[in-house]
Structure 1
């Protein structure tokens, strides 16, 4: 499965502490090309989260 994921996307995601290859592959498979979102708000809406700063 890792062979199907764009290498650069996989490298970026796995550089985040706590995200290993399996988690990165799941994120890529769920989101597809993250570049289709014009801004973080669109990504948040797609995922169904509403992060706020308290």
Structure 2
């Protein structure tokens, strides 16, 4: 029976949450109904990816 390290599971869960957040923001940046929301999503996505907006 395999035993999983709690730290590894926590890291994997954290990484999955981060990727989900980036995916949702990327989709929002493309499909947001107003230019203001698209711009806000792009700015937040740039901050999460450590890029200049």
Q: TM-score scaled to structure 1, two decimals? A: 0.24
Could you say which structure has the larger radius of gyration?
2
Q: TM-score, normalised by structure 2?
A: 0.24
Write 1 or 2 for the structure with the bigger share of helix.
2
